[in-house]
Amino acid sequence: MDISVAPKPPVSRSLVRSDATRRLLAFGALIVLVVAFSLASENFFTFNNIKGILLATSVNGILAIGVTFVIITGGIDLSIGTVMTFSSVMAGVIITNEGLPVPLGVAVGVGTGALCGLINGIVIARMKVPPFITTLGMMYIAKGLALIISELRPIYFNSAPVFRDIAMGSLLGEVVPEFDIPNAVLVMFGAALLAGFILTSTILGRYTFSLGSNEEATRLSGVNAALWKTAVYTVCGAFAGLGGVVMAARLNSAQPALGQGYELDAIAAVVIGGTSLSGGEGTIMGTIIGAFVMSVLVNGLRIMSVPQEWQTVVTGAILVGAVYMDIIRRRGS
């Protein structure tokens, strides 16, 4: 296939503009929340609490970054939560049970995620099974495999203390001691930069939008749609694997029973961040902001001692509100 023949995907200027608008909306919401909580409680806008929020966002943020790609193609990935857990267990098997080097364990963790994503992609793109069903199936498969491989036990990383530093060490703190932001946060921002680059500056990114805007047109213009779609799910899986590594490093253990439900938090972050579930639009920046909106909300309500049940209700309301704002914006344009 001659790539140069492929048309520019239908990413129009107005879309860029509207992306800016939606990014502004989510960002505005984030600012409003931060200001409101800062006024409501003196314990909110403190360095330690901000650090806590950053940390609480990291795993969900990394998952959300990955699933943004899939959602832009108009698909969905329900397996990222349990794939994350499966990946963390695989890293644990390599590092703790086999005693192999930490970088290899990290590679296997990320690779496990990518492999699950690859399988999702092949089933969806080649075998034409709907993404919802395929990834639902993978959700169960990954959950079961995590339980089987771990033999139902948490795997601890005590034999490799350096592993924990992936999340809980602080490279930044070594340079500027006052800003001892944990590495998990740096990993998330690094992942966001990488994903942003892929999405805006590579062929994969271009076809991601193209598939979401009009898959048929993309295919008719000579693009191997199945190949690129498979690649998108693989990327999503790789980020889930990275999320698994970071989570395991933070908990200093791979917990085989965790993970289910995390995919919904990630999808919520993507949607709050302005990525449309109908595909074709979206930004990584928006997703990161969406993830922060969620954790600021939970943290702020928590700091104000709002009962937990209400935190969940408010999160749901914000989610629906975000989509409604998007609908209004579309009607306007």
Partner 1 sequence: MKSTKLFSILFALMLALTVSVGVVYPQGPDETPAATEEPEAERVPYCTEEVRAELEAQDIYIPVISKGFQHQFWQAVKQGAEMAAEDCGVTITFEGPETEAMVDKQLEMLQTALDKEPDAIAFAALDSQAAIPLLERAQEEGIPVVGFDSGVDSDIPVTTAATDNVAAAALAADMMVELIGGEGQVAVIAHDQTSRTGIDRVDGFKNRIEEEYPDVEIVDIQYGAGDQLKSTDLANAIILAHPDLKGFFGANEGSIIGVLNAVAEQGKEGELVVIGYDSGVQQMDAIRAGTEAGAITQDPIGIGYYAVEAAIMALQGEELPEIIDTGFHWYDASNIDDEAIAALLYE
Chain positions contacting partner 1, by CB under 8 A: 41, 43, 46, 48-49, 52, 55-56, 59, 143, 147, 152-154, 156, 158, 168, 182, 247, 250-253, 255-258, 260, 295, 298-299, 302-303, 305, 308
Q: Work out how close the CB of 257 gets to partner 1 at its nearest, in angstroms, rounded to a whole number.
A: 4
The smaller minimum CB distance to partner 1, of residues 76 and 258, is found at 258
Q: Work out how close the CB of 314 gets to partner 1 at its nearest, in angstroms, rounded to a whole number.
A: 15
Nearest to 1 by CA among 228, 235, 233: 228
Q: Which residues, in sequence order, are CB contacts of 180 under 8 Å at separation 6+?
A: 51, 170, 172, 173
Q: Is 278 in contact with 76 (CB distance < 8 Å)?
A: no
- Alpha-helix residue ranges (DSSP H) falling in the chain: 13-40, 47-72, 80-92, 102-125, 131-149, 161-168, 171-175, 183-201, 203-213, 215-220, 225-251, 262-272, 284-303, 308-332
The smaller minimum CB distance to partner 1, of residues 56 and 266, is found at 56
The smaller minimum CB distance to partner 1, of residues 49 and 230, is found at 49
Question: In angstroms, rounded to a whole number, what is the distance separating the alpha carbons of residues 120 and 135?
Answer: 6
Q: Is 225 in contact with 125 (CB distance < 8 Å)?
A: yes
The smaller minimum CB distance to partner 1, of residues 155 and 284, is found at 155
Q: Work out how close the CB of 252 gets to partner 1 at its nearest, in angstroms, rounded to a whole number.
A: 7
The smaller minimum CB distance to partner 1, of residues 158 and 200, is found at 158
Q: Work out how close the CB of 118 gets to partner 1 at its nearest, in angstroms, rounded to a whole number.
A: 26
Question: In angstroms, rounded to a whole number, what is the distance separating the alpha carbons of residues 290 and 284?
Answer: 10
Q: Work out how close the CB of 110 gets to partner 1 at its nearest, in angstroms, rounded to a whole number.
A: 19
